[in-house]
Amino acid sequence: MVAEIISIGDELLIGQVINTNASWMATQLNLIGIDVVQITVISDNKEAIKTSIDNAFKRADIIMMTGGLGPTNDDITKICLCEYFDSKLVFDESTYLRIEKLFAQRGFDVTALNRQQAEVPDKCKVIPNNNGTASGMWFEKNGKILISMPGVPFEMKTMVTNYIILQLKILNKVVIFHKTIHIQGIGESFLADLIKDWENQLPNNIKLAYLPQPGLIRLRLSAKGKTTDKLDVQVFTEIEKLRKIIPDLIFGYDDDTLEEVVGKLLTTKNMTVSTAESCTGGYLSHLITTIPGSSAYYKGSIIAYSNEVKMQILGVSDETLEKHGAVSNQTVKEMAVGVRNLLKTDYAIAVSGIAGPDGGSDEKPVGTIWIAVADKNGVVAEKFLHGEDRTRNIRKAALSALMLLRKVILQEC
């Protein structure tokens, strides 16, 4: 089975909104083995909607359509679909009750305009929307499927996850098992080189995808097969082989993030951490505190953006700064030890580097980052050389710092 996506909305055509809905849906379809052959973005225009459906049905079995289902006059998708599927609008009691409940929660009465939202084409199966007034609609005609959903990402995603994907999975009959592996601390081409023999020996039914992000690489293994195949066992066997090649670079799987993984490690061990940041300027603390409940293990940070703060608050000696500079093995070590003593935590991370664009030299070019982790046993430091882009350097330095903390914690286990 192949699918097409039709996104309806002027906000997409004037560039005001980026079409993240389409990529999200494409990803979900791919995960169940359905390829997307075209994505089309059009305006709320009858002619455009009908032509797009006609053309898409020439190529695809399934059309996933979003947008144009609001209660105002410019939302015409429902009327177009009635005409296209030779259907008429009927009042749907259960949809009305859902809308009424939604309004009651917010303390409003249902207006006449919103009452219309309970009218649905008689030839569709209604997909309930628990987060908004517009229902989803599932049409079938000549063995093809058209699914229409609201364009509000949260409403659309809930429908796709809780209903549509489950239905399409049954119809598509391909069984597919995915596992995403999260890697930090190596560039894409170096990783590719390191694991090429492993990649080449993968069974034919397992596909590998590289999904790089700044400072991180995700590898996705997708195994296709029949219901009787043990796809999960097959994938886990391959992951075990990979772990032997790059044991230190894998930090998590699927929805894991590095900040979450480190947070869980600290929680499990009932340990605390503090940070001292120079070039990352608060981004490391920000990453750690994006996790709800991080206050249980994170005590705080000294952002020492000037040398005075490094000396007066963190207790870095003026001799160290003078002899080795702020971006050095010695300075980050003193920063880490300093903040650990000051905030009385089990672990402490310190970062000092040159994020750029200015401040680089031949000896210490832009992208030079020193990271230290202190604990009760002492302090270790590592040097990293990232690129020229300030934003990426800050992100990569913070990720490298979390990765080093993870390593230190695990070595103690």
Structure tokens at 258: 């590095």
C-beta of 128 vs 365, nearer to a copy of itself: 365
User: How does DSSP assign 244-260, residue by residue?
Assistant: HHSTTTEEEETT--HHH
Amino acid, single-letter form, for residue 247: P
**Do residues 223 and 235 lie in contact, with contact meaning Cβ atoms separated by under 8 Å?**
yes
Nearest distance from C-beta of residue 148 to a copy of itself, angstroms: 18
Best CA proximity match to 110, nearest among 89, 137, 91, 123:
91
Structure tokens at 102: 């939604």
- From residue 42, alpha-carbon distances to 16, 17, 93 in Å are 14, 13, 32
C-beta of 55 vs 131, nearer to a copy of itself: 55
C-beta of 82 vs 152, nearer to a copy of itself: 152
C-beta of 35 vs 188, nearer to a copy of itself: 35
By CB under 8 A, name the binding residues for a copy of itself. Answer: 12-20, 22-28, 30, 35-43, 48, 55, 209, 211, 275, 277, 280-286, 288-290, 292-295, 298-306, 308-309, 313, 342-344, 356-358, 390-391, 394
Nearest distance from C-beta of residue 383 to a copy of itself, angstroms: 21
**Do residues 262 and 290 lie in contact, with contact meaning Cβ atoms separated by under 8 Å?**
no
Nearest distance from C-beta of residue 130 to a copy of itself, angstroms: 17
Sign of the dihedral defined by the CA atoms of residues 45, 47, 48, 51, in that order: positive
Nearest distance from C-beta of residue 49 to a copy of itself, angstroms: 11
User: How does DSSP assign 363-394, residue by residue?
Assistant: SS-TTEEEEEEEETTEEEEEEEE--S-HHHHH
Nearest distance from C-beta of residue 359 to a copy of itself, angstroms: 8
Nearest distance from C-beta of residue 205 to a copy of itself, angstroms: 18
C-beta of 95 vs 114, nearer to a copy of itself: 114
